[in-house]
Amino acid sequence: MGLISEFKTFINRGNVMDLAVGVIIGGAFATITKSLTDDLIMPVVGYLFGGADFSGYFIRLGDLPAGFKGNPESYADLKGAGVAMFGWGEFLTVLVNFLILAFIIFLLVKLVNKLTAKPEPEAAAPAPTPEEVILLREIRDSLKK
């Protein structure tokens, strides 16, 4: 079997196609989650903590480079100039984004498991004791007496 035909067989397997669809949908889902975080949740969190753009909170660790023409209070400008910073606001935004995504995936998996769960068999009644066992027990009890 040639390399090309092996590759064709590999690609045509259902698992590979399912994985490809999952990656594409996951990428699209990530943009929705990012928008949910950046456009809806983090502005509210930022408002509660005194700023509209929570991802812009940082601590500048390095000096401004010579000839810096950006805003020294802008995280994006400083990052673009290569200034060393502790970007805790951006990290917090990414962390919240991850937690939201993980929670939504948890809910989806829980829903799929619920929809595809096989009904559990009812607990079977204990099998009746065979007549031989009953007879042996009676003999044992008689011998003890």
Q: How confident is the model at residue 31 (pLDDT cuts 50, 70, 90)?
A: confident
Residue 81 is predicted with a pLDDT of: 86
Residue 53 is predicted with a pLDDT of: 57
Go through the domains of the chain in sequence order and give each one's CATH number: 3-120 (1.10.1200.120)
Residue 58 is predicted with a pLDDT of: 86
Q: Is the pTM of this model over 0.85?
A: no
Residue 51 is predicted with a pLDDT of: 59
- And the tokens for 73? 């209070």
Residue 84 is predicted with a pLDDT of: 86
pLDDT at 52 over 60: no
